[in-house]
Amino acid sequence: MDLTAPVPLTETVDFGGMSIAFDSRLLRPRDWTAAQSRWAAELAVEVPTGRILELCCGAGQIGLLAAQLSGRSLVCVDASPVAAAYTRDNARAAGLEGAVEVREGLLTEVLEPDETFPLVVADPPWVPRADTGRFPEDPLLAIDGGADGLDLARACVATIGAHLAPGGLAVLQLGTTDQVARLHAALAGAGLRVAEVRGYEDRGVVVRLER
């Protein structure tokens, strides 16, 4: 992070009834993604006890709303120090400070080998690198999914496969149903399968994963 750069203005938006602060170094919270939080909270009723894991949390809003709705504690992961700081602030503002642990670092590096979670929420960057120029407002770290848009999604799938507790479920956000199909090999390699796909017009899709 360039500590000499001017700090952008903090904005606050409503996300499913929660007040979420962020700035232009992060992806602007997208209203429709509250559906991923609500789905996770519904699934929380049917999975074993334990904390929710959120991979690629940004300002933390998707995982925080899922935690608030389900009453579960949350572990949030993001490579961006700015994201980690806002997630901590947003957790505090929501009264969830004691229920939220934020880990700053690569999603492939911040979990202990034997840690498992009954519910995982993942919202990786999923824009193909060649298309990222269409979103000049969005930070590259938040949207650049590599050549086919799926580099980070594959990393999330591998991490979910390694850390999903027995009887656990995951909800993974992607851009298109075509991307879901192209994750087939990664899912098979991680011992996961697609149980349901929900589309949100042309804004994105959320996939429910299980073993």
By the criterion CB under 6 A, which residues form the site for ligand SAM? Answer: 27, 29, 33, 56-58, 62, 77-80, 83, 106-107, 123-125, 141-142, 152
Closest to ligand SAM by CB, 138 vs 210, is: 138
* Minimum CB distance to ligand SAM, residue 187 (Å): 19
CB of residue 151 to ligand SAM, shortest distance in Å: 9
Q: How far is CA 117 from the centre of its chain?
A: 14
Q: Which is nearer to ligand SAM, 125 or 161 (CB)?
A: 125
* Burial grade of 28 (CB within 10 A; 0-12, 13-18, 19 or more): middle
Task: Considering the complex, state which of residue 46 and residue 178 has its C-beta at the smaller distance from ligand SAM.
Answer: 178
Nearest to 129 by CA among 153, 141, 147: 147
Cβ-based nearer residue to ligand SAM, 36 or 47: 36
Whether the Cβ atoms of residue 75 and residue 54 lie closer than 8 Å to each other:
yes
Which residue in the shown chain puts its C-beta closest to ligand SAM?
Answer: 58
Minimum distance from residue 19 beta carbon to ligand SAM (Å) = 15
Nearer to ligand SAM, 31 or 46 (CB): 31
80 near 25, Cβ under 8 Å?
Answer: yes
Q: Given the complex with ligand SAM, which of 150 and 193 has the nearer CB atom? A: 150
